[in-house]
Amino acid sequence: MKQFSTLLTDLTDGILLITINREDKLNALNKTVISELDEVIDELYKDPEIKGAIITGKGPKAFVAGADITEFKGLNEEGGKALARRGHEVFNKIEMSPKPIIAAVNGFALGGGCELAMACHLRIASENAKFGQPEVKLGIIPGYGGTQRLTQLIGKGKALELLMTADTIDAVCAEKLGLVNDVVQTVELLEISRAMISKITSMAPIAIAEVIQSVYAHFKDGIDGFDTETELFGKCVATADFVEGTNAFLEKRKANFKGQ
């Protein structure tokens, strides 16, 4: 995999660790980070050696503390729309990845950082993690999907409260609201995230991809999620992995899935 200027990557045992590497800027998202995230997620889609990914931030203070506000200066309406569309494009690609992606949230996940975490399939937070969408303090709203994904995860009432007050919540509160799946000790964050992604990637990869597609069908306009589930269930039944999985169950052995 190529070297990036704002990301560190490490592929071990099929799990790609993506670390946003702007520690001196609290890993703030700028155009380069967004572009390089786009590139690395493309690699995840295409590379058969990559089974899943973890996204985290460099250092102990921040996952991603927000967008790089220096890039906001001089933006006009059309420039703002273009910036948001680009973020949506990349974060939607993360959300719809057929391979599982976990956000290992270490420290601040504010603004674009919270939006990035929410675009991942699961979120595991360190005990010092903080979450928030403080954009109204700047006279704007979230632009990378925050108004939509926060509402999906925690419900309309609480989402509106956090979006309009710009309040920051801690990891325990985030877990209670359903924003994160688990809260762990900081020193165990990557270890537990790796264990979770490894457990998921030990399952049938086609089935995992179709679970992701079926769940997100619920949120798509004009799409019947039940119909999608029916179609994708039928697709899974036609795979060699289904034959292997059922045979392994009946023979009381571990399945050897091939992704076929």
Catalytic, out of 115, 188, 191, 244: 115
Read off the pLDDT band of 26 (50, 70, 90).
Answer: very high
| CB atoms inside a 10 Å sphere around CB 224 | 12
A 10 A CB-CB count for 198 gives 14
High-pLDDT (> 90) share of the chain, %:
89
Convert 87-120 to b/e letters by CB count within 10 Å (16 or more is b).
bbebbebbbebebbbbbbbbbbbbbbbbbbbbbb
pTM, 2 dp: 0.95
The pLDDT score that the predictor gives to residue 2 is 82
Q: What is the pLDDT of residue 60?
A: 92
Residue 204 vs residues 98, 200, 209, 256: alpha-carbon distances, Å: 12, 9, 9, 9
Q: Among residues 36, 95, 135, 175, which one is catalytic?
A: 135
pLDDT score, position 125:
98
Does the active-site annotation cover 251?
no
Residue 78 falls in the annotated catalytic set: no
Looking up tokens 């632009």, which residue turns up?
Answer: 143
The string of pLDDT tens digits covering residues 215-224 is 999 888 888 8
**Rg, C-alpha atoms of the chain:** 19
Worst-scoring range by mean pLDDT, 28-32, 120-124, 141-145, 251-255? 251-255
What pLDDT is attached to residue 221?
A: 83
- Report strand pairing: 7-12 vs 52-57: unpaired
Residue with tokens 């079926």: 214
What residue type is assigned to position 101 of the chain?
I
Closest to 113 (Cα-Cα) out of 145, 70, 161:
145
pLDDT reported for residue 73: 83
| pLDDT tens-digit map of 133-184 | 999 999 999 999 999 999 999 999 999 999 999 999 999 999 999 999 999 9
Confidence of residue 1 (pLDDT cuts 50, 70, 90): confident
Share the mean pLDDT of the chain.
95
Q: d(Cα 89, Cα 94) in Å, to the nearest integer?
A: 9
CB atoms closer than 10 angstroms to residue 82: 12
Per-residue pLDDT, averaged over 12-38, amounts to: 97
pLDDT tens-digit readout, 42-82: 999 999 999 999 999 999 999 999 988 888 888 899 999 99
Q: Does residue 88 register a pLDDT over 90?
A: yes
